[in-house]
Amino acid sequence: MKYVDEFRNGALARAVAAEIASVTDPQRHYKVMEVCGGHTHTIYRHGIKDLLPDQVELVHGPGCPVCVLPMGRVDEGIEIAERPEVIFTCFGDMMRVPGSKGNLLEVKAEGADIRMVYSPLDALRIARENPDREVVFYAIGFETTAPSTALTLQRAKKEGLRNFSVFCNHVTIVPPVRALLDSPDLRLDGFIGPGHVSTVIGCRPYEFMPHDYGKPCVVAGFEPLDLLQSVLMLMRQLGEGRCEVENQYGRAVPWEGNLQALKAMAEVFELRPYFEWRGLGFIAQSALKLSPAYTDFDAEVRYTTPGVRVADPKACQCGEVLKGVLKPPECKVFGTACTPERPLGALMVSSEGACAAYYNFGRKSFEKVEIGSRP
């Protein structure tokens, strides 16, 4: 399969793994964070961890938008979905994220008109087909997804659709990474940057990592070889004492990003002064809301959501896992009170959530993990 097979070649992967081993200092322990949930998924699915030397530890970052959504925002979405005039549309994974009183799937079972869509453009189509109903789209995601919401809103405005609105929960990737770097309980050696976010925002936004924090960053693609090569590039930087942003995923990531997409986002969105992240707390300028030009399409304005704050369940340790302080199986309820079938925390819901990825694919390595054995 073109674009896929060449990045899953086993012999090549072993050759890159051998090279990684050859540049690894056996006296040193390396902690590398993959920011993006898509990378976490690839790492477990393809057993990348088993190919790396023991000295190289991969830490999972906050890059799964479902997982970082605070409970209050889930509850507010549910409140809108329960209104009789509303057709509520959202991505599939969103349906199972637990709010304080259940999830969207349960509300749907009780009769709310909630529909799963693959694209915000599908929500727009539903609005066109149901002029007597109010169609709300639950927008969620990083800069990969934000352009599709922006484009959908631009089309809605052009068409003059009045029964369509967006409950905007888009977040941005740089502020949480900065917050992690500022947090004292985490010592990292470098970052694997998110590939598809970077297709949109380019590589420049990561320059603060080497400049302000002295941490190298390699923007990586999503196939197993992409990831291995990125680890190699990082290890080489560390070995040679270099510290810069490098782009492993050049075939899809232009250094400047996608200017057309950024322009659409700039027209439709503006930065929120602050936004709550599950496990990370409030982070300044870390999320998007609709710009004044799009207020008519803003579900938060249309339905005056109160902005409630709901604390996570006590047993849940998603925050520590999100910050990379704990590994998923080190959470007290992992695999017992919290499983993909009955998730307690959001990290168990999405296939990109670190806990779900660990649960589904990481069992082998999971058995090997000695809890608390790593520095």
Cα–Cα distance measured from residue 168 to residue 314, given in angstroms and rounded to the nearest whole number: 27
* Closest distance of CB 69 from ligand SF4, Å: 13
Q: Amino acid letter at 99? A: G
Write the CB contacts of 54 (distance below 8 Å, at least 6 apart in sequence).
none
Write the CB contacts of 329 (distance below 8 Å, at least 6 apart in sequence).
335, 358, 366, 369, 371
The verdict on 351 binding another protein (CB under 8 A) reads: yes
Name the residue nearer to another protein (CB basis): 83 or 155: 155
The verdict on 63 binding ligand SF4 (CB under 6 A) reads: no
* Closest distance of CB 354 from ligand SF4, Å: 7
> Is residue 268 a contact partner of residue 290, using CB atoms and an 8 Å limit?
yes
> Is residue 195 a contact partner of residue 222, using CB atoms and an 8 Å limit?
yes
Binding partner of residue 338 among ligand SF4, another protein, none, CB cut-off 5 to 8 Å per kind? ligand SF4
Q: Which stretch binds another protein (CB under 8 A): 24-32, 144-152, 181-189, 300-308?
A: 144-152
Site string for ligand SF4, 345-364 (x = CB under 6 A): x-xx------x---------
The verdict on 2 binding another protein (CB under 8 A) reads: yes
Q: Mark 332-360 as b/e (b = at least 16 C-beta within 10 Å).
A: ebbbeebebeebbbbbbbbbbbbbbbbbe
Reported in sequence order, the residue ranges of 220-374 that DSSP labels E, i.e. its strands, are 245-247, 269-271, 274-277, 281-284, 288-290
The verdict on 121 binding another protein (CB under 8 A) reads: yes
Binding footprint of ligand SF4 on the chain (CB under 6 A): 316-318, 321, 328, 331, 333-334, 338, 344-345, 347-348, 355
Binding footprint of another protein on the chain (CB under 8 A): 1-4, 6-7, 36-39, 41-42, 45, 63-66, 91-94, 118-122, 125, 140-142, 144-145, 147-148, 151-152, 154-155, 194-197, 199-200, 222, 250-254, 258, 260-261, 264, 350-352
